[in-house]
Amino acid sequence: MAFRWTNDLTRADVTPERLFLNRRQILGGLAAGGIAGGLGLRAEAQEALEPNTWEEITSYNNYYEFGTGKDDPARYADSLVTSPWSVTIDGLVDRPGDYGFAQIMEAMTVEERIYRFRCVEAWSMVVPWNGFELADLLEMAGVQTGARYVAFQTANRPDQMPGLARPVLDWPYVEGLRLDEALHPLTLMATGIYDRPIPNQNGAPLRLVVPWKYGFKSIKSIVRITLTEDEPPTSWNKANAREYGFYSNVNPEVDHPRWSQATERRIGGGLFARRQPTLMFNGYDEVAGLYEGMDLTENF
């Protein structure tokens, strides 16, 4: 008689997918918060931080220097030459100059930061960045008293960036932060994703990541950082000041003039996934103190 395999497990025995996906976090929670915290609320609270896949993070991008389609950067950004690379740090600093990428990496401590990422277009991801705190880089250059803002600029290379042929934005792409925002420990200079060098379409070799602000503040492929006394111009604000403010903090209560910001579509969630609620400061409540006393409807 031939051996006949029988399935001794039923669907009821399958580990609930949610718990399976979060087993690392649950174990982490057990260590940090005890049994109750580990198995209950903690697993629920950390569920949202399960990172997107490498494929999702590197194939659905905004990087208009390579075109405005979501798949244009993945297709065309290979042409960007990222080595050698240097960042000019100037303005109100003690040690202005060109800092080579290797020189920067030697001086900085790279760590992993798993951050929520919320685009102003109302989609979101969770990205496991590798990077160092912008504050450490600024300290290397020596911020002078009188500096109140930090201006950033992306590479401007028409021969390597086909999107620059079209006047979609006033090139080069520029961004800015108030100095206290720039010095906040959450503010990252990302150099990697999933422990691999950051791909060109995500802003190689180094880009800003400000997780409590809309994605367009997180400027890519930075070649210049300037400490200034006055608020610097920013690309999307220049393009449409009514729709894009200087602050651009994630705020579910302040809608974009053309769409709601109350909810977001999580990339990779599937076609029929429910939109999830957008969190104030994208869930990073620790930055609230930076905006105390400010009207965030006016300073959007």
The number of beta carbons lying within 10 Å of the beta carbon of residue 60 is 18
70 among annotated binding-site residues: no
For ligand MTE, the binding residue among 61, 187, 261, 282 (CB under 6 A) is 61
Stretch that binds ligand MTE, among 30-38, 62-70, 130-138, 280-288 (CB under 6 A): 62-70
Helix/strand/coil for 114:
strand
Which residues ranging from 73 to 132 are in contact with Mo ion (CB under 5 A)? 119
Q: Does 173 bind Mo ion (CB under 5 A)?
A: no
Is 65 labelled a binding residue?
yes
State the minimum distance, in angstroms, from the CB of residue 13 to Mo ion: 43
Q: What is the DSSP letter of 135?
A: H
Distance in angstroms (rounded) separating the CA atoms of residues 26 and 147: 44
Applying CB under 5 A, among 201, 215, 224, 281 the residue interacting with Mo ion is: 215
According to the binding rule CB under 6 A, does residue 220 interact with ligand MTE?
yes
Footprint of Mo ion on 216-235 (CB under 5 A): 216
For the record, the structure tokens of 261 come out as 């910001």
Among positions 77, 119, 177, 204, the unique one binding ligand MTE when judged by CB under 6 A: 119
* Site residues, ligand MTE (CB under 6 A): 61-65, 119, 154, 173, 202-203, 215-216, 218-220
* Site residues, Mo ion (CB under 5 A): 62, 119, 215-216
Binding residues for Mo-molybdopterin, as ranges, are 61, 64-65, 119, 154, 202, 207, 218-220
